[in-house]
Chain A
């Protein structure tokens, strides 16, 4: 069945560092891909999405590109802030939504 694999955390970075969180997927067909973010004490909210190969999703300085050839959707940000500290979930939607295990990001000032 469909599955999503994310890099394990926690990821700890200093403010203004470059962020990459790896995500790869296994799916039949052409799923849509998502990154959700969960801030402390809150529910998940959509960060960005891409619905077809080579699409780039972007929001709040975060970007991810749908790479069909490598079945990947890595999350990147050029300069992280303390306020970016959260749990990040990669997900795919084929005929149902499947989540990765989540990656904790901690940003130090």
Chain B
């Protein structure tokens, strides 16, 4: 009954360091996405993927990379962390948008709180 699993839950980085936030889902969802949540700004889409080997940019992609080598995993990479990337990051998955199984509902992980000093 895992759903969407994110690791780590907390991370502190220094400016310029790199790291990867991991996301895995066990619901066989084609669609996976990363959001960042900042006070007063709601959720903003960073990157998304509609299947293995396919990724695309969302609203705020700069400074982040993603890849989708398997259906289950969708890691988010920060190549050179900046203080502006201090945020809470959420991974979410669903059935494929536009598909007959998709009602628009997203399933979220518990979040990863990142602080960049």
Contacts and interface: CB of A to CB of B under 8 A. Distances in A.
Size bracket, chain A contacts: 20 to 34
Nearest to B6: A43
Interface in B29-64: 40-43, 45
Interface residues of B, number: 18
Contacts of A60: none
Given A43-B90, A44-B90, A96-B97, A89 B106 contact: no
Contacts of B41: 101
A62 interface: no
Given A34-B105, A43-B110, 6 more contacts: A43-B4, A44-B108, A49-B103, A95-B98, A100-B42, A101-B41
Interface of B: 4, 40-43, 45, 90, 92, 97-98, 103-106, 108-111
Interface of A: 32, 34, 36, 41-46, 49, 51, 89, 91, 93, 95-97, 99-102
